[in-house]
Amino acid sequence: MIEPITCAMSKRVSKNAVGGASVGASVGASVVAPKVLGGGRAKGATKSAVKSATKGATNKGTASTRAPLALGDLRQRIDEMDKRLVGLLNERSSLVVEVGKLKRANNIPIYAPHREAEVLKRVLASNAGPLADRAIEGVYRELMSGSFALEKPLSVGYLGPPGSFSHLAAVRHFGSSVELADMGAIDGVFTEVVRGHVDYGLVPIENSIIGGITETLDGLVAHAGKLRVYAEVQLGVHHALIGACAPAKVTRVLSKPEVFAQCRTWLATQYPRAELVPSASSSKAVQDVAAAGARSGWGAIGSTLAADLYGLNVLFDAIEDNPGNITRFFVIGRQEAQASGDDKTSVLFAALNKPGALARVLGDFERCGVNLTHIDKRPSRRENWSYTFFIDAHGHHSQKPVAKAIKLARRHCQELHVLGSYPRSRRVL
391 and 293 together in one domain: no
Tell me which of 374 and 27 has the higher pLDDT. 374
Q: Are residues 163 and 206 in the same domain?
A: yes
Q: Which stretch of DSSP H or E encloses residue 205?
A: strand 200-207
Could you give the CA distance from residue 237 to residue 207 in angstroms, rounded to a whole number?
Answer: 9
Q: What is the Cα Rg of the chain in Å?
A: 26
Residue 3 has pLDDT above 60, yes or no: no
Query: Looking at this protein, which amino acid is placed at residue 60?
Result: K
Q: Is the peptide bond between 130 and the residue preceding it cis, with omega within 30 degrees of 0?
A: yes
Instruction: Indicate if 120 and 153 belong to the same structural domain.
Output: yes
- 324-352 average pLDDT score: 93
In the chain the first and final C-alpha atoms are separated, in Å, by 33
Instruction: Among 182, 214, 236, give the residue marking a domain's end.
Output: 236
pLDDT in tens, 45-57: 444 443 444 444 4
Residues 226, 276 within the same domain: no
Average pLDDT over residues 184-188: 90
Q: At residue 365, does pLDDT exceed 80?
A: yes
Q: In this structure, is residue 232 part of a structural domain? A: yes
Q: How far apart are CA 407 and CA 403, in angstroms?
A: 6
With 0-12 / 13-18 / 19 or more C-beta atoms within 10 angstroms meaning exposed / middle / buried, residue 89 is exposed
The pLDDT-based confidence of 151 (bands split at 50, 70, 90) is: low
pTM value?
Answer: 0.72
pLDDT > 60? residue 79: yes
Give the pLDDT confidence score for residue 12 in this predicted structure. 39
Residue 429 within any structural domain of the chain: no
The CATH number assigned to the domain holding 407 equals 3.30.70.260
- Judge if 167 and 258 occupy the same domain: no
Of 40-44, 215-219, 276-280, 375-379, the least confident = 40-44
139 domain-assigned? yes
Residue 31, pLDDT > 60, answer: no
Between 50 and 280, the more confident residue is 280
Provide the number of structural domains found in the chain. 3
Residue 104 lies in a domain: no
In the prediction, which pLDDT does 188 show?
93
**Cα–Cα distance for residue pair 255/284, rounded to 1 Å:** 8
What pLDDT, in 10s, does the model give residues 222-254? 999 999 999 999 999 999 999 999 999 999 999
CATH of the domain at 220: 3.40.190.10
Task: State the Cα–Cα distance between residues 385 and 21, nearest whole angstrom.
Answer: 52
- Please check the confidence at residue 6 and state whether its pLDDT lies above 70: no
Range 115-136 average pLDDT: 83
Say if residue 258 is in the same domain as residue 214: no
For residues 284 and 378, state if they share a domain.
no
Q: Band of the pLDDT at 62, cuts 50, 70, 90? A: very low
Parent domain of 341: 336-423
Which tops the pLDDT comparison, 231 or 92?
231
Identify whether 12 is part of a domain.
Answer: no
Q: Which of 288, 316, 344 is the last residue of a domain?
A: 316
Q: How confident is the model at residue 9 (pLDDT cuts 50, 70, 90)?
A: very low
Same domain, 213 and 153: yes
Confidence of residue 74 (pLDDT cuts 50, 70, 90): confident
pLDDT at 42: 40
pLDDT (average), residues 249-273 = 93
pLDDT for residue 21: 37
The answer to the question of residue 277 being in a domain is: yes
- Summarize the confidence of residues 389-413 as an average pLDDT: 96
Residue 45 belongs to a domain: no
Query: Does residue 303 sit in the same domain as residue 341?
Result: no
Mean pLDDT for the chain overall? 82
pLDDT at 269: 94
Residue 288 has pLDDT above 70, yes or no: yes
Domain stops at, among 202, 236, 270: 236
Say yes or no: 153 and 214 in one domain.
yes
Is 348 a domain residue?
yes
Burial of 155 (0-12, 13-18, 19+ CB in 10 A): middle
Question: Span 140-152, mean pLDDT?
Answer: 72
Q: Are both 118 and 209 inside the same structural domain?
A: yes
Give dist(CA 299, CA 288) in Å, integer. 9
Q: Is residue 60 scored above 90 in pLDDT?
A: no
Claim to verify: residue 156 and residue 176 sit in the same structural domain:
yes
pLDDT for res 85 = 86
In this prediction, residue 334 has a pLDDT band, given cuts at 50, 70 and 90, of: very high
